[in-house]
Amino acid sequence: MTAVLEKSILSLLFVLIFICSSVRSDVEMNVVRVNSGPSCFKMCSASYGDYECNVDCIDKKFSGGRCVPSGAQRRCCCPA
């Protein structure tokens, strides 16, 4: 009985580690760096928002983009 319980606990532990590592990598892939480099290029405004930024980033051959805080304003950034 004890061996079965130990195997069950170890299996559960491995599953939890696997789930946590996959969630963490998904979060890391969604991070957009905010800098003045080539991936951030235009200031966002009321007329230029996430949709327009995403379209511009796709036109520049990135997978997408969004407006992110950059100091007191928001900038259009594409994932590097």
pLDDT (tens digit, 9 = 90+) per residue, 9-37?
766 655 556 565 554 444 444 444 444 44
* HSE toward the beta carbon, residue 44, CA cutoff 13 A: 22
- With H, G, I as helix, E, B as strand and everything else as coil, classify residue 19: helix
Could you state, in order of their start, the residue ranges of all structural domains in the chain? 1-30, 32-80
- Residues 53-64 pLDDT 10s: 999 999 999 999
Q: What mean pLDDT is predicted for residues 45-54? A: 96
- Rounded distance, CA 57 to CA 73, Å? 19
- With H, G, I as helix, E, B as strand and everything else as coil, classify residue 24: helix
- With H, G, I as helix, E, B as strand and everything else as coil, classify residue 77: strand
Residue that wins the pLDDT comparison between 8 and 35: 8
CATH number at 32-80 = 3.30.30
